[in-house]
A and B are shown apart, each in its own frame.
Chain A
Amino acid sequence: MTQYIVRRVLIMFPVAFLVTVFLFVLIRQTPGDPVLVRLGEEATPENRAALRHELGLDRPVAVQYVKWLGRVLRGDFGRSIRNNQPVLDALAERLPKTLELGLVAFAYSVGIAIPLGTLGALFRRGPIGLAASAFTFAGVSMPNFFLGTLLILFLSVKLGWLPPGQYVPFSEDPLDNLRRLIMPAITLGTAGAAVNMRLIRSSLLDVIVQDYIRTARAKGLPERLVFFRHALRNALIPVVTIVGIQVGALWEGAFVTETIFAWPGVGRLTINSISGRDYPVVQAVVLIAAFSFMLSSLLVDLAYAWLDPRISYVKRRG
C-alpha cells in the first residue's frame, strides 16, 4: 500500500512538469503584453525595452522556462511582475481563504447531497422525491454568478440577514467570518450538491435491486442495516469519483464566487494575474491547482479501497 502511494506521488512530478510547459507557452501566446500592462500606452520604446530586459522577457521562451524551472526546483517562484511581491507570499496570503471557502462549500455539497439523495431514492414517487428532483434541477442549471447575486439581493438587501460579501479574518472576528462565509459557500457548493444528489439517488436505485441486497434481506437483517451497510456504501462508489472531480469544479467556481463576494482568495489572485499578464503568479497558481487535482484523484482511489474491499492496490502473492 505504502509503495503504491509513493509511486503515485512520484508520478505527479512529471505530470506537473508537462502542465507547466503547456502553460508557459500558452500564456505567452495570449494577446497582451505584461510590459504594456505595466507601462501603459504612453511609454517610449526605450522604456519598454528596459522593462522587458529587466523581466527577462527578451530571452527565448525556452531559456526563460529553464531558468524558471531551475529556480522553482530550489523553491523560488520569483516575484510578481505586477507589484514585486514574492509569489509564494502572495499565495500564502490567499490560499487559506480559498481553502476555508472550498472546504465549507465541499462539506455543504456532500453533507446536503447524501440525505437528500437518499430521500429522493427512498421516496422517489412522493412529494419528497419531487422536491429533491426540483432542487437538483435548479442547482445544476443555475450559474454561480446568478445564484450569488440572487442570494445577495434576497438575504442581504431585502431581508438584511447576512452581510453582502467582504471577508473578515477568522482571527479578528470568528463569528463574523462565518456569517460572511455562508452565502459564498452555498453559491460555490450548490451545483456540486445537486450533481451529487442526483448521482446518489440513481446509484441507490441501481443498488437496491441487486441480488446481494435481496440476500441481505433474506438473511433477516434489519432494514436499517441493509440500507446503511449494504446499499448506501456500495452506492457511494461512483459518487466518490465524481466528488474527486468536483475539487476541480470548486477551483473554477472559486474564480466567480470570490469575485462576487469580494473574497480575497486564490481565484481573484488568478484573475488579476491573468489580466495583468503576471506570468510568475499565473504559473505558480496553475502548478498548485494541478497538484491539488492529482492529490484529490489519489485520495479518490484510496477511498475506493476503503469503500469496496474488492478493490485493492496491494499486489497479492501467488
Chain B
Amino acid sequence: MRKKQIFSIRQLQVFFRLLILTAIGAGWGCSTVNVAEQRLVSKSNMVFSDSPVFSDTSNYHSLLEPGTAGSGGGQASGCTSCK
C-alpha cells in the first residue's frame, strides 16, 4: 500500500508562492493613498466587516454550496457520507 504524504513538495511550493502573492497584495496601496484622500474608502459600506449588519455574505451559501464550505469538515460541506 502506498504511503501517503501529508503534503507534497509541489503542494508546498504552490502554497508558498500563493503566500507571497498575498504579501505583495498586502503591501500594494500602502504608500499610494494620502490620508486626506481616504474619505471614500473609509465609508461604512466600503470597509470589510464581520458584523452581520454590514456583511453581504450569507451562512446558507456554505451549507448549500459544497465549494463555499470554509472549514472543510463533513458537516460544513453538508454531505455526511462524503469524504
A and B form one complex: no
Q: Which residues of B contact A (CB under 8 A)?
A: none
Seen from chain A, the residues whose Cβ lies within 8 Å of a Cβ on chain B are none
